Amino acid sequence: MTILFECEYQDARWVGFEKPEPGRPVTLYKVSDGRLQAEFIAAERPEQVVDAITADAESVTVEGGEEELRYLPPLLPQATGNALLSGFMRTHKSKFEGEPTEGEEFVPPNWFFKGFGSWLRMPGDPLVVPQNVRALIEEPEVALVYVNDADGTPHYAGYTIANDLCDIGLHIENPGWNPYCKLCDTSIAPWLFLGAPPASVTGRVTIERDGVTAWEGPFDCGEDALYFTVREMMDHLFTFPAVRRPEMVNYVLLGADKASYHDGFRIADGDRIVIDVKSHGIVLDNAVQYVQTPAVS
């Protein structure tokens, strides 16, 4: 499957169409802010975006590999910041009794606002959380990426993987506090897969403490693991004008399976969360950082 990534290199913005490997040359194509969004809106197929960029963009081959690149969240508008990060809750079959019945009336799952697109963090960045968290949980999730055109019509671009770190303890204490629960940093892979939402995304989470594995377990966040269909969830979400603002980029999290919290583990300050997405050959690796914020003056 074709992938796309954006990065900063020598104070300019570039795009590549293959996952860089350490020590191997990588070809980049120079793009202005908003160019890729415009190409996805105009394209009928993702391959047309690749063809359009490679046909006329200035290119450069970086011989040193990926260490010289600073990766960016895919399609994030740098100039306007017009991007929204949100997601669905309790979407996995493992959290329901029985299987969904064919023809059953669609009742949408709960939805949450996670933050603005600029709040997204890259692999390697610390994930900042409040000092007084109750109980954190890592949540490997598929993140769908949509680009709205000038009329607000959303155009699907592709998908990637994110870690929706949140304070599940706060949510359990009071479900009405869920908006607070979600105010933790989210990491996202820079690789945008130019294909339909995936049926299967599998891998393994490892949580390291002081350099030693403290917990590990598998995950599955593909559509086959969901109680709801992606089409029904997205069709419902985009009935709301607020997420159809012109030229907005939407990052939509599809929910997570049970994780370390459900196994009795508690994430601590300084723990490193490593999400190895074996089905897609990518890794999200972030340390958790508790932060004490100063009083409001």
Q: What is the mean pLDDT of the chain?
A: 94
**Which domain-ending residue is among 72, 100, 128?**
72
Residues 6+ apart with CB under 8 A from 233: 88, 91, 108, 109, 254
Same domain (yes/no): 65, 94: no
* Distance, CA of 292 to CA of 98 (rounded, Å): 43
DSSP tag of 30: E
Q: Is residue 150, in this structure, part of any structural domain at all?
A: yes
**pLDDT number for residue 65:** 62
Q: Is residue 297, in this structure, part of any structural domain at all?
A: no
Same domain (yes/no): 10, 46: yes
Domain, as residue range, for 47? 3-72
Q: Is residue 95, in this structure, part of any structural domain at all?
A: yes
Q: Is residue 40, in this structure, part of any structural domain at all?
A: yes
Same domain (yes/no): 121, 234: yes
**Which domain-ending residue is among 12, 44, 72?**
72
Please compute the mean of the pLDDT values over residues 126-136 and round it to a whole number. Answer: 96
Same domain (yes/no): 173, 259: yes
Tens of pLDDT, residues 86-115:
999 999 998 887 777 777 788 999 999 999
**Within 10 A of 237 (CB to CB), how many other CB atoms are there?**
20
Same domain (yes/no): 234, 163: yes
Same domain (yes/no): 141, 57: no
Same domain (yes/no): 169, 264: yes
Task: Look at residue 265 and tell me whether its pLDDT is greater than 80.
Answer: yes
Contact present, 156 and 192 (Cβ < 8 Å)? no
Same domain (yes/no): 144, 275: yes
Q: Is residue 172, in this structure, part of any structural domain at all?
A: yes
Q: Is residue 31, in this structure, part of any structural domain at all?
A: yes
Q: Is residue 296, in this structure, part of any structural domain at all?
A: no
Task: Look at residue 30 and tell me whether its pLDDT is greater than 90.
Answer: yes
Residue 192: which CATH number? Answer: 3.90.850.10
Contact present, 126 and 288 (Cβ < 8 Å)? yes
Q: Can you tell me whether residue 36 is helix, strand or coil?
A: helix
Same domain (yes/no): 55, 87: no
What pTM does this model have? 0.95
**pLDDT number for residue 201:** 97
CB neighbour class for 222 (10 Å; exposed up to 12, middle 13-18, buried from 19): middle
| Token output for 123 | 């692999």
Q: Can you tell me whether residue 56 is helix, strand or coil?
A: helix
Return the minimum-mean-pLDDT range out of 84-98, 99-113, 115-129, 277-291. 99-113
Same domain (yes/no): 61, 97: no
| Token output for 291 | 């932060």
* Distance, CA of 233 to CA of 88 (rounded, Å): 8
**Within 10 A of 63 (CB to CB), how many other CB atoms are there?**
10
- Helix H segments across the chain? 35-42, 46-56, 168-173, 178-181, 230-237
Same domain (yes/no): 38, 175: no
Residues 6+ apart with CB under 8 A from 218: 202, 203, 204, 205
Same domain (yes/no): 127, 24: no
pLDDT band at 82 (very low <50, low <70, confident <90, very high): very high
Q: What's the number of domains the chain is made of?
A: 2
**Which domain-ending residue is among 41, 72, 103?**
72
* Distance, CA of 197 to CA of 253 (rounded, Å): 11
Please compute the mean of the pLDDT values over residues 229-257 and round it to a whole number. Answer: 97
Q: Is residue 77, in this structure, part of any structural domain at all?
A: no
* Distance, CA of 226 to CA of 108 (rounded, Å): 12
